[in-house]
Amino acid sequence: MEGYEISPVKAHVGGRNVVFNCEKEGVDAKIIRIAFLNDRSREDFLGEVEYIRYLFEHGGSVSDVVSSRKGKLLEEITHQNHTLFVCLFEKARGKMLVENNYRYREGVPITEYYYNCGKVLGKLHQVSKGYTPVHSRYSFFDKYNAEYIDKLIPDSLSLLKEKLVELLETLEGMDRNRESFGMVHFDYSDGNYMIDFDTGQITVFDFDNSCFCWYMYDLANLWTHGVGWIQFEPDVGKRKKFMEDYFEAVLSGYKSETGIENSMLDKLPLFIIATLMENIIDEFEIMRNKGEEPECDEELSYRIKCLEDDIPYMGFFHEIYSCEEPFEYEERIRLKE
């Protein structure tokens, strides 16, 4: 990395890595990622970088991993008996949507973006269907299971625990054939890809949460991020119509690269609940990792309420939803009396 100007990338809440921008004139920029928490194993990291390399080599639009001088995708550094895992990536071309103030390409309809989101994801899933790992990542149920939920979530939220276990039992009964279940990104959203605003091309990064799961999970996650485009609209009918059109454009792009059965698409509401579960568990993990007493703010209270009361589609079409304070519940859920 001689001659590169190296600067830190600002961390986000709950971040598990230290990340650096590496720039040098006349050379494509790179990203260094240093994982410092002991929450992942060497096998996890090898599984991640091998999967990224496989996607890249088979035409997936992802930031490729750069091999070290020793020809490794993953390097380890031990400092004071603590192991750091280091990876280098090509920096994705373009900007994040937020860096462009959520404006899309000048003179191009936003539906192109929705279509491309689906198309790029469809290609990743199509490539994944032929993937057999050397170093395997974990599977969905390795992390999301009744034992872990019981340990992580306070006993005062007994109804939430019950609903989460019911959800897991439903998912456990679902088919896991090669066409419906395989390696997924698990956090496919506009925070984890760049857009080349000259061409509209999307390049995906941050496979930190990638695991074996249903492909439908990534599509449901894309649905949940689509609500941001219409979340301040007071008319529920208009919100519904927008989401139908948005997801139709996403699926059109997705199906241009890979197939998906209607029986899986019918499970969209179920997988939206699964994304809510992931959000809730992530919040409690962040509190635990910071050593904080668990507490629920308005956003977490909203998610919990949707799950406890069986409110579909993140409550987006329900009376619980407020366009003035999107996805917030007016009363914080109390964990202790």
Q: What is the pLDDT of residues 282-295, one digit of tens each?
A: 999 989 988 888 89
Return the DSSP state at 321.
-
Do 164 and 170 contact (CB within 8 A), yes or no?
no
337 vs 211 pLDDT, higher one: 211
pLDDT at 31: 98
Return the DSSP state at 70.
T
Q: Which CATH architecture has domain 1-91?
A: 2-Layer Sandwich (3.30)
Q: What is the pLDDT of residues 63-113, one digit of tens each?
A: 999 999 999 999 999 998 899 999 999 999 999 999 999 999 999 999 999
Q: Which CATH architecture has domain 93-337?
A: Alpha-Beta Complex (3.90)
**Phi/psi of residue 22, nearest 5 degrees:** -125, 115
Query: Residues 43, 49, 51, CA angle at the centre, nearest 5°?
Result: 95
The proportion of the chain whose per-residue pLDDT surpasses 90, expressed as a percent, equals 90
CA distance 83 to 35: 9
Rounded to a whole number of angstroms, the distance between the first and last alpha carbons of the chain is 55
Structure token digits, residue 301? 């209270």
CA distance 277 to 164: 7
* 93-337 and 1-91 share a CATH fold: no
Give the residue extent of every domain in the chain. 1-91, 93-337
CA distance 177 to 163: 26
pLDDT at 327: 97
| Bridge partners, residue 21, by sequence | 7, 31
Among 37-46, 200-209, 319-328, the minimum mean pLDDT is found in 37-46
CA distance 141 to 320: 31
* pLDDT for residue 14 is more than 80: no
pLDDT at 337: 47
pLDDT at 37: 83
Q: What is the pLDDT of residues 297-308, one digit of tens each?
A: 999 999 999 999
Nearest in space to 91 (alpha carbons), one of 223, 255, 208, 205:
205
Q: How many other C-beta atoms can be found within 10 angstroms of the C-beta atom of residue 334?
A: 10
pLDDT at 336: 61
Q: Indicate the average pLDDT of the chain.
A: 95
pLDDT at 15: 78
